[in-house]
Amino acid sequence: MALLNELAKKKEGLVSGHRLCPGCTHSVIMRQVFAVAETDKYDIVVAAATGCFEVSTGLYPYTSWNVPWIHTAFENAASTISGVEAMYRALKKKGKLNKEIRFIAVASDGGTYDIGLQALSGAIERGHQFLYICNDNNAYQNTGNQRSSATPFAGSTTTSPNGKVKFGKEQPRKDIVSIIEGHHLPYTAQASPSNWRDLMNKIKKALDINGPTYINVLEPCTTGWGFPPHMAIEIAQLAVDTCVWPLYEVIKGKVVINYKPKKKLPVTEYLKPQKRFAHLFKKGNEHLIEEFQKQVDAHWEWLLKREECGIEYGV
């Protein structure tokens, strides 16, 4: 891949002036996407689901997008982009359009894990050519940190608060990559903005595939998770180094782990700087950290074993 100096010369796809919180990584992720997309070879069309990113970059009468961008509703980013893609294919077939275009849908975890799951599943099943990027910030941060199915175990949110009776969210988070992978699509991956080279490689791979692709990206949220804005990238790095957020890809059912930390850090390193986990460090809650570690370890072991198997689908 080109050096950052080369990428920095390119025209930005997402410009300044958006109203995301200081230290928000939504725009960091999208800027990395545009940096690696080969915009000299194809144009890009983006559809967005409702969420922080949509409301702060598309605040009427302003837009921060330098590319065609469309928003309809919360649940249907995937349906919207499949409609646009179907129209593009029809026009191309009729000879009314001869441009190369790539389609990207952007949503957060609310619009992917919960509300948009049905639309996403349908769009992947129909086999449209699009890349779906889920910026996972672990809750409905746009409306003020309500629990979603992406919220991790023991995470405190406004609808799963910790207190005398409860300790935050009781259920573990949903393993969305496995759900998406069940559609047997050509490419699924999980990435983090802290490891920009890895993220860019995955985006490039996904955009070159003729078919539906899905990338799950960690999006540390300074306001909802409760850490100082300057730590955003550091938190993402800690999530990767503690294996809370493993970087891996699934190519036709075969798991490839892209980053194995030399020294796997204990989850406390990741939990400690975040206010939403502050109650775990109170006396008497040690078992919750143990449980958190157990869940992370189990998932990591499972991934390692799957990589070792190296089995592909027979299609």
Partner 1 sequence: MAEKLLNWDEVLIGAAIKEPGNSRQYETGSWRVERPVWNPDTCIQCMFCWVYCPDSAILVDENGKMAGVNYTFCKGCGICVEQCPSKPKSLKMILEAEAKGKSEEELRKEVFSEDK
Contact set with partner 1 (CB under 8 A): 3-9, 12, 14-20, 22-28, 31-32, 35, 57-67, 193, 196, 222, 228-234
Burial of residue 220, with CB atoms counted within 10 A of its CB: 0-12 exposed, 13-18 middle, 19 or more buried: buried
Least distance (Å) between residue 214 CB and partner 1: 23
Quick one: 39 exposed, middle or buried, by C-beta within 10 A (0-12, 13-18, 19+)? middle
Nearer to partner 1, 53 or 167 (CB): 53
Could you tell me how many residues make up the chain?
A: 315
Cβ of 35: how many Cβ atoms within 10 Å?
21
Helix (H, G, I), strand (E, B) or coil at 278: helix
Min. distance of Cβ 68 from partner 1 in angstroms? 8
Helix, strand, coil shares of the chain as percentages rounded to 5? Answer: 40, 15, 45
DSSP 8-state code for residue 209: S
- Please, what is the minimum distance in Å from the beta carbon of residue 247 to partner 1? 17
Other beta carbons less than 10 A from residue 222's beta carbon? 22
Which residue number, 239 or 303, has a Cβ lying nearer to partner 1?
239
Place of tokens 């309500």: 146
| Nearer Cβ to partner 1 (64/216) | 64
- Work out how close the CB of 5 gets to partner 1 at its nearest, in angstroms, rounded to a whole number: 4
- For partner 1, the closer of residues 64 and 138 by Cβ is 64
CB of 279 to partner 1, least distance (A): 26
Residue 54 CB, shortest distance to partner 1, in Å, is 13
How far apart are the C-alpha atoms of 61 and 290, rounded to whole Å? 49
For residues 30 and 117, which CB has a smaller minimum distance to partner 1 in the complex? 30
Of residues 61 and 163, the one with the C-beta less far from partner 1 = 61
